[in-house]
């Protein structure tokens, strides 16, 4: 009789290996297979499990993928509401043609940091900055900075849609007029282009002269995005821009963002961990005004370096 036929019971513990182990970690964890036989005589050839060292990764695999160039560089940024220090020594790169998500519990400083980028805090008295935010070789926190230029370069989309009380067409053309673009054929072209970029053209192309206030909430939010896109910003800042929308509208905006990053860099404040994992290339965790950890989104969610990051993305607090 074949010796294998004498094996009546085989129990094997689960073979485990780390998901995406760090490069250079050669050993794979395995457990022995234990064969039991009811025969009186042992198998002539013992059953063994050999543990081998996995091949060492090639040198090219060990090298990190090249990152896109930095579009914004935040250096030792502190921000104060009056005498109260809200942001504390934040260092953070914003890489070109990418989506960076800012995550963290309520009150951790995400939105405060986002509004430093285009100096929205300047609208209120007794606030001040320390440190640098460098863009195009200039510190945009300098007191002499041209804020009109800055806010056209860094557009902002708020949590609540902000349509102007005018037609759909005039909502988009408004920013172009501020930039002194008055050529009507060019204005029409840019209005259509920005509405297409915002995945809204097909829904409003026959309603351009109607009031924007008649659009749905999701359409109004995409209109706000299109209005920002019309002036060709380098960066779009999203402050929980989908949190008040239905899932279908949110999905349309997420789809638009992923496609749009080929042309525009985006920074997104979100409480939605699934959204951050879906759309962002890089993620930064904030806690009590400080930056806890920053890295590629896949690393932040699967291989975080900090215990706090691991606990937050797992939903243990926040």
**SS3 labels along 56-116:** CCCHHHHCCCCCCCEEEEEEEEEEEECCEEEEEEEEEEEECCCEEEEECCCCCCHHHHHHH
Using 50, 70 and 90 to split pLDDT, how confident is the model at 33?
A: very low
pLDDT of residue 179: 87
Q: What is the largest CA-CA distance in the chain?
A: 97
Mean pLDDT, all residues of the chain: 83
Kindly state the helix (H) or strand (E) to which residue 129 belongs, with its residue range. strand 127-135
Per-residue pLDDT tens over the stretch 241-255? 999 899 999 999 999
From the list 13, 66, 57, the residue with the least C-alpha distance to 35 is 13
**Helix, strand, coil % over all residues of the chain, rounded to 5:** 35, 25, 40
**b/e for 59-87, b at 16 or more Cβ within 10 A?**
eeeeeeeeeeeebbebeebbbeeeeeebb
Centre a 10 Å sphere on the Cβ of residue 268 and count the other Cβ atoms it contains: 27
What pLDDT, in 10s, does the model give residues 38-60? 334 444 444 443 434 434 444 44
Mean per-residue pLDDT, 180-199: 95
Q: What is the pLDDT of residues 102-149, one digit of tens each?
A: 999 999 999 999 999 999 999 999 999 999 999 989 999 999 899 988
The answer to whether the beta carbons of residues 252 and 259 sit under 8 Å apart is no
Report the percentage of the chain scoring pLDDT > 90.
Answer: 73
Q: With contact defined as beta carbons under 8 Å apart, do 173 and 246 qualify? A: no
- CA gap 285, 167 in Å, rounded: 39
* pLDDT at residue number 178: 86
Please determine, for residue 10, whether its predicted confidence score (pLDDT) is greater than 70: no
- Higher-confidence position of 1 and 240: 240
CB neighbourhood size of 123 (10 A): 9
Q: Could you tell me the pLDDT band of residue 225, with boundaries at 50, 70 and 90?
A: very high
Q: How far apart are CA 217 and CA 156, in angstroms?
A: 17
The pTM (predicted TM-score) of the whole model is 0.77
Q: Please give the residue that has the higher pLDDT: either 90 or 22.
A: 90
Mean pLDDT of 182-209: 96
What tens digit of pLDDT does each residue of 277-317 get? 999 999 999 999 999 999 999 999 999 999 999 999 998 88
Cβ neighbours of 147 (radius 10 Å): 13
The strand order across the sheet containing 154-157 reads: 154-157, 235-239, 265-269, 99-103, 282-287, 290-296
User: Tens of pLDDT along 11-21?
Assistant: 333 333 333 44
């Amino acid at each position: 009789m074949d010796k294998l036929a004498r094996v009546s019971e085989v129990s094997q513990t689960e073979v485990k290996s780390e998901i995406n182990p760090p490069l250079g970690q050669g050993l794979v964890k395995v457990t022995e297979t234990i064969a039991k036989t009811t025969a009186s005589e042992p198998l002539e050839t013992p059953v063994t499990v050999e543990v081998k060292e996995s091949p060492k990764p090639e040198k090219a695999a060990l090298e990190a993928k090249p990152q896109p160039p930095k579009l914004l560089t935040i250096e030792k940024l502190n921000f104060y509401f009056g005498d109260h220090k809200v942001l504390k020594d934040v260092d953070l790169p914003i890489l070109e043609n990418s989506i960076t998500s800012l995550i963290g519990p309520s009150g951790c400083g995400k939105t405060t940091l986002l509004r430093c980028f285009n100096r929205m805090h300047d609208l209120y008295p007794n606030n001040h900055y320390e440190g640098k935010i460098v863009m195009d070789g200039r510190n945009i926190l300098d007191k002499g900075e041209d804020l009109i230029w800055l806010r056209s370069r860094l557009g902002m989309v708020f949590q609540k849609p902000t349509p102007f009380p005018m037609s759909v067409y005039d909502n988009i053309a408004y920013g172009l007029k501020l930039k002194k673009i008055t050529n009507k054929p060019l204005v029409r072209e840019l209005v259509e282009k920005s509405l297409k970029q915002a995945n809204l053209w097909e829904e409003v192309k026959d309603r351009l002269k109607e009031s924007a206030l008649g659009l749905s909430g999701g359409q109004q939010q995409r209109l706000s995005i299109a209005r920002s896109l019309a002036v060709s910003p380098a960066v779009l800042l999203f402050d929980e821009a989908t949190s008040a929308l239905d899932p279908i509208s949110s999905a349309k905006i997420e789809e638009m963002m992923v496609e749009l990053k080929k042309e525009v860099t985006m920074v997104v404040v979100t409480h939605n961990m699934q959204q951050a994992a879906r759309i962002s290339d890089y993620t930064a965790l904030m806690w009590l005004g400080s930056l806890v950890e920053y890295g590629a989104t896949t690393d932040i969610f699967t291989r975080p370096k900090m215990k706090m990051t691991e606990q937050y993305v797992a939903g243990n607090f926040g």
